[in-house]
Amino acid sequence: MAGHSKWANIQHRKNRQDSVRSKLFSKFSKEITVAAKMGDPDPDKNPRLRLAIKEAKSQSMPKDNIERAIKKAIGGEGEAYEEIRYEGYGPDGVAVIVEAMTDNRNRTASNVRSIFTKYGGNLGETGSVAFMFERKGEIRYAAGVGDGDSVMMAAIEAGAEDVESSEEGHVIYCADTDLGEVAAALEATLGESESTKLIWQPGTTTELDLDGMQKLMKLVDALEDDDDVQRVTTNFEATDEVLAQL
């Protein structure tokens, strides 16, 4: 029975991982289709589509899935999605930005509001927390591409604004409108990045203890599990000790 129990546990974890992966790929497909519909289906002529494909590839999304999403846009298939941003506060006053794509605004608003309420948050009006963040481009490289100084020089020459280097790697920030150009320039000198995307960078942060982090993670997990939600951003800050305990 122990062996069977262990197998069942392994299967449960695998099924959970497969489910998460499938949901992630579905969100990427939606972004790729919308980007291709809104602009040119050729990534070389469509910066948003190019970034969407790059981010999907960074998460090992199969090439066939990417091509199928683009073909859906070319063929006029799929739902007409609307992009919506929700803002609110999570447990302990943490600011939360939720970006969604939906074919039913009422359904998505109801789901997001319900999740905020269930997990100790409050959904606010548009603009209620966005002032605490700044829209930025973020490009990530592995530590192996070079030391901090060499990456900093490459980033400056590419037109970036800031670089954070550590043992884990290098994170390069630039103006949101410059992301395509900066990413292309860096790729020419450092090679392909691990990740290239637009983010909401918090200007002010809220520090959480372990209990606060656990509550916030439940809210974030529930939001990200919703099919209409593309990404969730918060302004939490926690010590290494608290993060280790998670």
Q: In CATH, which of 2.60.40.1180, 3.30.70.980, 3.90.105.10, 3.30.365.10 is domain 81-246?
A: 3.30.70.980
Task: Record the pTM.
Answer: 0.80
Distance of CA 180 to the CA centre of its chain: 17
Across all residues in the chain, what is the average pLDDT?
88
- On whether the CB atoms of residues 58 and 187 are closer than 8 A, the answer is no
Average the pLDDT over 110-127 and give the result: 95
Per-residue pLDDT band at 159 (split at 50, 70, 90): very high
Confidence at residue 48, expressed as pLDDT on a 0 to 100 scale = 86
Pick the closest to residue 126 from 166, 86, 74 (CA basis).
86
Residues with Cβ within 8 Å of residue 24, at least 6 apart in sequence: 59, 61
* Residue bearing the bigger pLDDT, 160 or 45: 160
Over the stretch 217-233, which tens digit does the pLDDT of each residue have?
Answer: 999 999 999 999 999 99
Residues 103, 114: Cα–Cα separation, whole Å: 18
Residues 107, 123: Cα–Cα separation, whole Å: 15
Residues 42, 127: Cα–Cα separation, whole Å: 34
Confidence at residue 3, expressed as pLDDT on a 0 to 100 scale = 40
Residues 238, 34: Cα–Cα separation, whole Å: 35
Radius of gyration of the chain from its Cα atoms, rounded to whole angstroms: 20
Query: Domain ranges in the chain?
Result: 2-74, 81-246
Per-residue pLDDT band at 240 (split at 50, 70, 90): confident
Angle among Cα 124, 125, 130 to the nearest 5 degrees reads 90
Tell whether the torsion through CA atoms of 16, 86, 91 and 176 is positive or negative.
positive
Confidence at residue 9, expressed as pLDDT on a 0 to 100 scale = 46
Least confident of 9-18, 41-50, 207-216: 9-18
Confidence check: pLDDT of 12 > 70? no
Fold: same for 2-74 and 81-246: no
Over the stretch 170-194, which tens digit does the pLDDT of each residue have?
Answer: 999 999 999 989 999 999 999 989 8
DSSP code string of 92-154: GG-EEEEEEEES-HHHHHHHHHHHHHHTT-EEE-TTTTGGGEEEEEEEEEEGGG--HHHHHHH
Confidence check: pLDDT of 15 > 70? no
Per-residue pLDDT band at 5 (split at 50, 70, 90): very low
Question: What is 2-74's CATH topology?
Answer: Arc Repressor Mutant, subunit A (1.10.10)
Per-residue pLDDT band at 22 (split at 50, 70, 90): confident
Q: Which runs of E-coded beta strand occur in the chain?
A: 82-89, 95-102, 122-124, 133-142, 162-166, 169-175, 195-202, 206-207, 229-234, 236-237
Confidence check: pLDDT of 7 > 70? no
- On whether the CB atoms of residues 199 and 138 are closer than 8 A, the answer is yes
Over the stretch 46-92, which tens digit does the pLDDT of each residue have?
Answer: 888 888 998 888 888 999 999 999 998 888 766 678 899 999 999 99
Mapped onto helix, strand or coil, the DSSP state of residue 173 is strand
Confidence at residue 78, expressed as pLDDT on a 0 to 100 scale = 62
* Residue bearing the bigger pLDDT, 22 or 63: 63
